Amino acid sequence: MQLIQEQIEALRTEIRHHNHLYYVLDDPQIPDVEYDRLFRELQALEDAHPEFICSDSPTQRVGGEALSEFGNVRHELPMLSLANVFSEEELDNFDRRIHERLKDEAELEYVAEPKLDGLAISLLYVNGVLVRAATRGDGETGEDVTANVRTIQSVPLRLLGENYPARLEVRGEIYMPKAGFSQLNQGLAADNLKTFANPRNAAAGSLRQLDPRITAQRPLEMFCYSMGIAEGGQLPGKHYAILQQFKAWGLRVCPEIRIVQGAKACMGYFNELGARRVSLPYEIDGVVYKINSLKTQQELGFVSRAPRWAIAHKFPAQEAMTELEAVEFQVGRTGALTPVARLKPVFVGGVTVSNATLHNMDEIERKDVRVGDFVIVRRAGDVIPEVARVVLDKRPVTAQVITLPVLCPVCGSEVKRSEEGAVARCTGGLYCPAQVKEAIKHFASRRALNIDGLGDKLVELFFEQGLIRHVDDLYRLTKEQLVALERMGAKSAEKVLAALNTSKTTTLERFIYALGIRDVGESTAKALARHFGSLEALQAANEETLKLVSDVGSISAASITQFFKEEHNAKTINNLRTLGVQWANYEAKPAEALPLAGKTYVITGTLSRPREDIKADLESLGAKVSNSVSKKTTALIAGAEAGSKLEKAESLGVMVLGEMGLLALLKV
């Protein structure tokens, strides 16, 4: 039996080698017939000896039953988005800001690469074996698409070579080549099925099939472009060198990636690649520049949800002319009326556009947009199409001036325009169905009450069927009501009700954020919870008291007091509490008075509790929890199998705490 097992492993190694040559290096060394012979030989041996089948065998790419839904994956390190530049001047400003921050005039070394028009993905390899693949999602949480990604031939199920980290997260882009996209659409059209508008939509739609066997039939590819986490192993200190190491481990890296010196060389790369854009076998919508040195990256850090050391340089937006047929005003969660242009359909930027944003009344008046005008519609990448300008030479005499509605188009309440003039809002508050619907979607979202499975479509369905009219109605839903809905079985109904019941136990900051108070985001909600300690204290606060809280300015203080003055808001909150929504109060302390205020911790390795729980405990004591170790780190919380972060902490002389040290820290 040992001889058979060795024969199976030898075949797997040989097939992986040829897969790497064919799918990654584009350099096959054996004819297809010989490859097929090797593959069939491996299949025959595994069929005869199923006890030797393993998940990373080349024969196991396609298989398994269709999923009923995708699970959620919380990224250990957030998948951040990039800021954009659209001109040489903006690129120079980006480069200048880095020099100023580093206080160094030496030319910077960048890695330039095509910005692929696909779907961001995270691959997790444990001991060299692919164990999980997740979409970017909202950057914090994505969808588990492991079964589908395993069907993509250019994604290795097992890394080649050796010396890879015990836990390695690789990030990249899944895309559909132009030729594959054309072939797919031809096949769909021949079967009288709906075709895809562009390769990006085709890639996203193919990757999100609940049946991996369908994904396996789609011509998807992947390029890797960065590292997420690496624990239990060493990697080079340069981004470009890491990508070359990826290639040695069998991961596919775009051959267009280059090292360039300074902003002028970045611009040269941009112009050169732009000239070849049409001839590339895949769609790109720009170029990405990243500082090559990881040490410099860490020194520069992040701003908001984007790194300071990387930027996306977008190609000029694509434009087209069409007719503006009508303008409708949509009402959002905060009551803001957004004018939407209804256009005569026009093909621009790879998709057919029939709607475009007009932003607000100030923009309409500034551009002098009228119904009946011929307008230029601009679309840049994934940005919502916008009406860029009016073609005045083609304005008909029948063109009509656009006016702001006096009454809300949804509930008929009065519409008031802000003093600044730009934003107009419905005054109907939570009695306006449009606002209530969006408020419920926000209330149920992951960062708010996190009602698992209660997505936008389900909220829309509940509204259509008259099951909910206010946020608190969610907790009055019954199994009988849900089972009566179309395509809602008993198990699905029980799952929704269980999620609603689970969400009743929350935290004060989550509840404050879930209320959807204008100008109150997550960090402000957390600061309010820590400062006041209870909802009652927050409700009783005046504007001057609120402004004593970090993160709260005059505008947000006014929004908070106005929200709690509204009788229907107070009634909704009381109803929610009566229906069982609860949380533990805090001892009311200003953030700076908390025992760990001003201290920064990093968590790594495997600990006895989830990292998110530990993070929450530390933050409740006033600490900041970071993803990277630096000289400013107070201490590293290290569990089993701690890797590069532990090594860096030791090299910088940063204090390292284990489980016992963490327990002692939390008892302060």
Asked about 645 being catalytic, the answer comes back as: no
Q: How far apart are CA 303 and CA 472, in angstroms?
A: 36
Q: How far apart are CA 14 and CA 35, in angstroms?
A: 10
Choose among 28, 63, 25, 22: nearest CA to 43. Answer: 63
Name the residue with tokens 């490859």.
Answer: 35
| Alpha carbon distances (Å) from 404 to 112, 330, 377, 424, 433 | 46, 12, 22, 8, 20
Write out the two tokens for 52.
């030797």
Q: Which residues sit opposite 489 in a β-bridge?
A: none
Write out the two tokens for 35.
């490859």
**67 DSSP 8-state letter:** P
Whether 343 and 355 have beta carbons less than 8 Å apart is answered as yes
Choose among 648, 643, 645, 600: nearest CA to 625. Answer: 600
Q: Calculate the dihedral angle through the C-alpha atoms of 339, 345, 350, 356, rounding to the nearest 10 degrees.
A: 0
| Crossing angle for the helix pair 262-276 and 88-102, to the nearest 10 degrees | 150
Q: How far apart are CA 616 and CA 621, in angstroms?
A: 9
| Alpha carbon distances (Å) from 87 to 291, 349, 424, 457 | 19, 19, 33, 39
- Measured on CA atoms in the order 57, 60, 61, 64, is the torsion positive or negative? negative
Q: Which residues sit opposite 290 in a β-bridge?
A: 111, 310
Q: 3-class SS at 51? A: helix
Q: How far apart are CA 108 and CA 121, in angstroms?
A: 28
**Phi (first) and psi of residue 489, to 5 degrees:** -85, 180
In order, the DSSP letters of 282-303 are S-EEEEEEEESBHHHHHHH-EE
- Please give, one letter per residue, the 3-state secondary structure of 236-259: CCEHHHHHHHHHHCCCCCCCCCEE
Q: 3-class SS at 545? A: helix
Write out the two tokens for 235.
């990697």
Catalytic residue among 103, 115, 526, 589: 115
Angle among Cα 349, 353, 357 to the nearest 5 degrees reads: 100
Q: How far apart are CA 143 and CA 453, in angstroms?
A: 13
In order, the DSSP letters of 111-155 are EEEEEESSEEEEEEEETTEEEEEEE-TTSSEEEB-HHHHTT-TTS
Catalytic residue list: 115
